[in-house]
Chains A and B, each alone.
Chain A
Amino acid sequence: MEFIAENVNKTIDKKIILNDVSLKLRSGMIYGFVGRNGSGKTMLFRALSGLMSIDSGTVSLDGKVLHKDFDVLPEFGIMIENAGLYPQLSGFDNLKRLSSIRKKAADDTIREYIRTVGLDPDDKKPFRKYSLGMKQRLVFAQAIFEDQKILMLDEPTNAMDDSGVQMVRDILLERKKDSIILIASHNHEDIDLLADEKYRVSNGQFIKEE
């Protein structure tokens, strides 16, 4: 699998969000993006996934071009900081509702993933009553439970306790072999430990660190 961004530019309200970004990403790698708040990490994920249009440049997956051959990337999982799930639904019901779109994951799979992230699939508590750490665990589960081959994770270990952080790291290392994984994080430890390639993000520019 080859995922390529070429000369991607995006400006919002006269502010340059992505500045001539070019990336060549392939399976079996974890890519880490480090940068201050507002540097453009999250916007890159939105642009690469198709959730946001780009002003110029191209994004392609195995030769198929985003916004031409498909509106959003097929089979990708995303985690965006502060983006919630259905507040009134339980963890299981949240993933069940999302699974009804792609129809890829059976109930047993959903239960298994909820357990994997350290939550109880039979817990009827609505998402809005979850603690921050629990919310983060469930959002992580939604990003991976359909065996997505491209993962874009924005601050995946935020608000998680040590066991949660370890769980995310273990799962990502396990999924790495047949997936393209992009992680944006303030946590240098996560990036240092997981990423095969690191990028420093500043003012919409992505500079590869050797």
Chain B
Amino acid sequence: MKNVIILCKDKCIYLVAALSGIVLMLPVAGSNEPVKTEYYLCAFSFALLGQNISYIIQFIPHFIPLFIIQFYWGISIYKSFCVASIYVFSRRNHRVKWALRELLIVLLKTVLFIAAVIVPAFIMIMLSTQAVTDINTVIHAACMLIILSLYSFEMIALINLLSFFLESGVAFAIVQIINLLSLAMYLLSVNLKIDESIIMDFNLISRLMVEPDLDIWKLSFSLLYFLIPAVIISLLIVGAVKKTQFTKSIYEGDV
């Protein structure tokens, strides 16, 4: 029950997620085209993004929910670690357990947030278009939920990890620069003298894509692409929490 309360405490942010899901689907409302629902839904994973700088207009609104979540929970673990730290950790013998619990809470919150974007968008498409919904739509939605959640968790975990070593604002900026560079590489890949398949395979933005025609290999690769770094970053956070020594007051004041 206590964990449910923790997860639901941020109800405003879930409301923002739901609203952004609805708002982003407004342009397709009233469409009579008999396309499959996943065609609209896949826009959330940037699958309809072209490799041209002009597509940045299409990218930004769909990235906003992912940016919000990184901004809102970006330093949640680090902040939780810092506040009243002397008095919390003088009572805890197992910092590892504490870190794992915090990571799990962030993961669950991330999944809830992405679901709060996708589900209202899905309902909006169902109610306002002639799009056809079948089992494939559900599979698409599930794949998007997993991949976008893993990506968001990974980014949040990375901001938290960097915050242990740098100022938290700098940590946030570094992660956004990674996002921007990935986007730039993707949009400009046609003009770059690099093998395009490398960009498509290893670019952060292209790995977020869940295309209307499901490709199980691509999806599995995307899953590993986000899962492995997420696990590594999580382990590094656990290590940082375990190893941090309370030698100076930076860890003790209000954050």
Q: Pick the residue among B94, B252, B254 that contacts A71 (CB under 8 A).
A: B94
A78 to B90, CA, bound (A): 8
Complex contact B253–A84 (CB within 8 A)? yes
Question: Which of A45-53, A112-120, A165-173, A181-189 has 4 or more CB atoms under 8 Å from chain B?
Answer: A45-53
B residues near A84, Cβ cutoff 8 Å:
83-84, 252-254
Is the C-beta of A98 less than 8 angstroms from some C-beta in chain B? Answer: yes
Interface residues of A in 73-101 (CB under 8 A from B): 73-74, 76-78, 80, 82-87, 94, 98, 101
Knowing A51-B246, A52-B246, A71-B95, say if A78 contacts B87 (CB, 8 Å).
yes
Is the C-beta of B9 less than 8 angstroms from some C-beta in chain A? Answer: no
Q: How many residues of A contact B (CB 8 A)?
A: 30
A residues near B253, Cβ cutoff 8 Å:
82-84
Complex contact B247–A72 (CB within 8 A)? no
Is the C-beta of B193 less than 8 angstroms from some C-beta in chain A? Answer: no
Is the C-beta of B11 less than 8 angstroms from some C-beta in chain A? Answer: no
Q: Pick the residue among A53, A80, A102 that contacts B252 (CB under 8 A).
A: A80
Q: Pick the residue among A50, A76, A87, A98 that contacts B88 (CB under 8 A).
A: A98
| Chain B, interface residues (CB within 8 Å), range | 20 to 34
- Give a binary string over A1-14; 1 marks a CB under 8 Å from any B CB, 0 the rest: 00000000000100
Complex contact A12–B247 (CB within 8 A)? yes
Complex contact B245–A53 (CB within 8 A)? yes
B residues near A74, Cβ cutoff 8 Å:
93
Please give me the residue from chain B that is nearest to A146 by CB atom. Answer: B91
Knowing A12-B247, A71-B94, A83-B252, say if A51 contacts B89 (CB, 8 Å).
yes
| Cβ-closest 3 pairs across A and B | A83-B252, A51-B246, A101-B91
